[in-house]
């Protein structure tokens, strides 16, 4: 979507609809000890569990968000720390640097911390957690690399007090731009906690979109189906990073769909035009092609999918995505083009490329089939719930629509190196494992 259509900031929590995702399950806590058999038991095969035992599933300890139960002592700007606890991505706590860049957390009586989840505001930030050693001195027990806007750090067992600080390896102690801060108790993490994997070394599917939320509005069930259900390695690339809060909304939406590889963002400024030519006036064409070709070489997708050539409702940025993607089919394979990314990643020939609403070799997906992996919700439901994570966009006219002129279920096979689609039901047709010939 375009800039300037943002909402007025609903102060509601933005992670709806992730309940049934197969989220990364971090079993941080110990299970209760198994019940001992009473003495003098007869044949074990006939032994029934006593009524007071719990099933294995019940015994799994569930982590809880206990942030508001903790005593939290920011190292600086204490009155402003509420901004890191208000569950709004519009607000953030920007600490002082140096010794002011700390947060000390004391758990409530009888509670142990399992981990801490950071959501950074406008840039990623490497962060460490410290616990006290036997002399009472703070000692680092783990740190992030600062690769993601959403970072989770597990804590050692029996942590009842910890401190957040810049890593010891950092050359200087810089301010912490923290949009949201969460403390979790020990146990299996709830689905909303994002534990991102790095961008894919080798993607099955790459989706290139203009702005955060375009990958939902115009691609509907693609991400829930291929990332969430089929567990493909799905790499999303967004050309326009827009505002900080929208990048956090983007992560929420992708996580809801089951995407686990961290997305990549381009660096192009938002701007609404209605033609390819005008958009290339706004953005340097060479820079766009260089970036997109570099992405294709880096992520080596089997299937590349992007916007309508006509930009859905006419958006020039969407048209540029389609233009740059199909140009990259040749450019990524040609060692003479964009030699820097060729030297780093080598050439890549994309086996299949689909374009939204392309009128030839069309797949017409049914996004309304209940999916067991999403607890009976459909890919359409999940895409809609993921779009709802984009809180800043909820008072626009946009919605996920698998009907009408921008039907998000229609994709045409623009180019294939693996033969034509015959079944027209799957982006990965002709890419699956080769089945053995049946015995004669
Ligand atoms: Ca906030």
Q: What's residue 7's pLDDT? A: 31
Cα separation values, 35 from 49, 426, 436, Å: 9, 49, 49
**Rounded mean pLDDT of 368-390?**
98
Using the mean position of ligand 1's atoms as its centre, give its distance from the Cα of residue 121 in Å: 8
Residue 337, pLDDT > 80, answer: yes
Using the mean position of ligand 1's atoms as its centre, give its distance from the Cα of residue 277 in Å: 39
Residue 3, pLDDT > 70, answer: no
Q: What's residue 435's pLDDT? A: 53
Using the mean position of ligand 1's atoms as its centre, give its distance from the Cα of residue 86 in Å: 5
Residue 17, pLDDT > 50, answer: no
Residue 24, pLDDT > 70, answer: no
Q: What's residue 432's pLDDT? A: 76
Confidence at 62, pLDDT banded by 50, 70, 90: very high
Q: Which of 61, 67, 56, 68 is nearest to 28 (CA)?
A: 61
Q: What's residue 55's pLDDT? A: 52
Q: What's residue 51's pLDDT? A: 43
Q: What's residue 191's pLDDT? A: 96
Confidence at 60, pLDDT banded by 50, 70, 90: confident
Q: What's residue 31's pLDDT? A: 31
Using the mean position of ligand 1's atoms as its centre, give its distance from the Cα of residue 120 in Å: 9
* Predicted confidence (pLDDT) per residue in 273-327, tens digit: 999 999 999 999 999 999 999 999 999 999 999 999 999 999 999 999 999 999 9
Q: Write the CB contacts of 36 (distance below 8 Å, at least 6 apart in sequence).
A: none
Beta strands in 203-340 (DSSP E): 205-209, 234-238, 264-265, 303-306
Using the mean position of ligand 1's atoms as its centre, give its distance from the Cα of residue 81 in Å: 9
Report the alpha-carbon distance of residue 121 to residue 407 in Å, rounded.
34
**Least confident residue range of 9-13, 63-67, 124-128, 136-140:** 9-13
**Rounded mean pLDDT of 5-28?**
31
Using the mean position of ligand 1's atoms as its centre, give its distance from the Cα of residue 88 in Å: 4
Q: Write the CB contacts of 43 (distance below 8 Å, at least 6 apart in sequence).
A: none
Using the mean position of ligand 1's atoms as its centre, give its distance from the Cα of residue 12 in Å: 11
Estimate the share of the chain in helix, then strand, then coil, as percent rounded to the nearest 5. Answer: 25, 20, 55
Q: What's residue 171's pLDDT? A: 84
Domains and CATH numbers, the chain: 67-185 (2.60.120.260), 205-416 (3.40.50.10320)
Confidence at 58, pLDDT banded by 50, 70, 90: low
Cα separation values, 332 from 11, 216, 248, Å: 43, 26, 30
Residue 228, pLDDT > 90, answer: yes
Q: What's residue 172's pLDDT? A: 86
Confidence at 26, pLDDT banded by 50, 70, 90: very low
Using the mean position of ligand 1's atoms as its centre, give its distance from the Cα of residue 179 in Å: 4
Residue 248, pLDDT > 50, answer: yes
**Rounded mean pLDDT of 388-394?**
98
Residue 427, pLDDT > 80, answer: yes
Residue 261, pLDDT > 80, answer: yes
Confidence at 54, pLDDT banded by 50, 70, 90: very low
Confidence at 438, pLDDT banded by 50, 70, 90: low
Using the mean position of ligand 1's atoms as its centre, give its distance from the Cα of residue 91 in Å: 4
Using the mean position of ligand 1's atoms as its centre, give its distance from the Cα of residue 30 in Å: 32
* Predicted confidence (pLDDT) per residue in 351-375, tens digit: 999 999 999 999 999 999 999 999 9
Neighbours of 190 (CB within 10 A): 15
Using the mean position of ligand 1's atoms as its centre, give its distance from the Cα of residue 385 in Å: 21
Residue 47, pLDDT > 50, answer: no
Q: Which of 213, 218, 251 is nearest to 120 (CA)?
A: 251
Residue 154, pLDDT > 90, answer: yes
What residues pack around ion ligand 1 (CB closer than 5 A)? 83, 86, 88, 91, 179
* Predicted confidence (pLDDT) per residue in 173-221, tens digit: 899 999 999 999 999 999 999 999 999 999 999 999 999 999 999 999 9
Residue 119, pLDDT > 60, answer: yes
HSE on the CB side for 288, CA within 13 Å? 27
Neighbours of 52 (CB within 10 A): 6
pTM: 0.86
**Rounded mean pLDDT of 44-58?**
45
Residue 289 main-chain phi, psi, to 5 deg: -65, -35
Q: Give the dihedral sign, CA 14/410/420/315.
A: negative
User: What does the mean pLDDT of the chain come to?
Assistant: 88
């Amino acid at each position: 979507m375009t800039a300037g259509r943002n909402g007025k900031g609903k102060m509601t929590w933005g992670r709806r609809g992730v309940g049934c995702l197969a989220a990364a399950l971090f079993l941080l806590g110990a299970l209760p000890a198994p019940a001992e058999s009473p003495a003098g038991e007869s044949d074990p095969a006939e032994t029934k569990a006593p009524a007071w035992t719990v099933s294995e599933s019940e015994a799994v300890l569930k982590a809880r968000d206990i942030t508001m139960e903790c005593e939290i002592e920011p190292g600086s700007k204490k009155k402003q720390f509420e901004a890191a606890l208000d569950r709004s991505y519009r607000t953030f706590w920007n600490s002082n640097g140096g010794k002011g860049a700390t947060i000390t957390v004391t758990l409530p009586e009888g509670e142990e911390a399992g981990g801490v989840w950071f959501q950074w505001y406008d840039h990623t930030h490497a962060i460490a957690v410290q616990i006290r050693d036997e002399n009472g001195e703070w000692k680092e027990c783990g740190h992030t690399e600062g690769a993601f806007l959403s970072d989770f750090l597990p804590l050692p067992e029996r942590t009842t007090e910890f401190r957040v600080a810049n890593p010891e390896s950092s050359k200087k102690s810089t301010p912490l731009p923290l949009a949201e801060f969460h403390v979790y108790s020990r146990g299996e993490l709830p689905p909303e906690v994002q534990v991102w994997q790095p961008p894919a070394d080798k993607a099955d599917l790459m989706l290139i979109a203009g702005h955060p939320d375009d990958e939902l509005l115009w691609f509907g069930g693609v991400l829930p189906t291929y990332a969430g259900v089929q567990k493909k390695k799905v790499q999303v690339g967004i050309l326009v990073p827009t505002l900080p809060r929208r990048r956090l909304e983007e992560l929420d939406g992708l996580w809801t769909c089951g995407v686990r590889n961290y997305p990549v963002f381009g660096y192009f400024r938002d701007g609404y035009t209605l033609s390819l030519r005008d958009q290339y006036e706004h953005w340097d064409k060479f820079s766009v092609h260089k970036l997109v070709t570099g992405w294709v070489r880096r992520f080596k997708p089997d299937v590349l999918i992007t916007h309508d050539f006509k930009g859905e409702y006419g958006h020039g940025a969407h048209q540029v995505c389609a233009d740059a993607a199909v140009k990259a089919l040749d450019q990524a394979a040609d060692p003479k083009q964009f030699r820097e990314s060729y030297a780093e990643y080598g050439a890549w020939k994309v086996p299949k490329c689909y374009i939204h609403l392309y009128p030839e070799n069309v797949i017409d997906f049914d996004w309304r089939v209940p999916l067991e992996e999403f607890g009976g919700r459909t890919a359409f439901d999940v895409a809609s719930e993921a779009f709802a994570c984009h809180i800043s966009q909820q008072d626009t006219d946009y919605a996920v629509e698998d009907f009408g002129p921008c039907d998000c279920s229609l994709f045409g096979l623009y180019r294939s190196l693996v033969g034509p689609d015959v079944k027209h039901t799957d982006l990965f047709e002709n890419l699956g494992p080769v089945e053995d010939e049946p015995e004669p």
